[in-house]
Amino acid sequence: MQVIAALVIGIIFGLGILLSGMGNPVKVLNFFDVAGRWDPSLALVMASALTVTTLGYRLVLRRERPALAEAFYLPTRSQLDAGLIGGSALFGMGWGLTGVCPGGLIPVLAIGRIEPLVFLVGLVSGMIAARVVQARRRSADSQTPIVAPSSTGA
């Protein structure tokens, strides 16, 4: 049942992206072009999404558990760190340079153009690189330093 629910929600999301024009990188880039051909429609899409999310969380979190899961899996960390800030900055730069957001990328793959596919390859490559870097950091953090025996020189 979870797979069917995810499929239905994905179809609704994809249709919303395509119908709103948010799959069109030019429309997204025009939102960022406040000194030129500014298009405020992305702000309406974001405001709609935030409204639905806020209301949805308020309603759903009143329940004992989700309808299709054993428990709620909510974030536990709330602190800002260098990885979160740096990752957010890179995400924003990528979105601002290309006009393509990963959430909007999936439905756009269906139009059959090469550009979204190239973007997807770059996106997945970046995700893999980030995981490799994180794994190396964890590995380096878990190694205990070797301490040389002290010589007192009697």
Please count the other Cβ atoms lying within 10 Å of the Cβ belonging to residue 47. Answer: 10
User: What mean pLDDT is reported for the chain?
Assistant: 86
The pLDDT value given to residue 97: 84
The pLDDT value given to residue 150: 57
Contacts of 97 (CB under 8 A, 6+ apart): none
Please give the span between the terminal C-alpha atoms of the chain, in angstroms, as a whole number. Answer: 75
The pLDDT value given to residue 96: 84
In this predicted structure, the answer to whether residue 153 has a pLDDT above a threshold of 80 is no
DSSP character string of 89-147:
HHHHHHHHHH---HHHHHHHGGG--HHHHHHHHHHHHHHHHHHHHHHHHHHHHHSPPP-
d(CA 2, CA 7): 9
What pTM did the predictor assign? 0.66
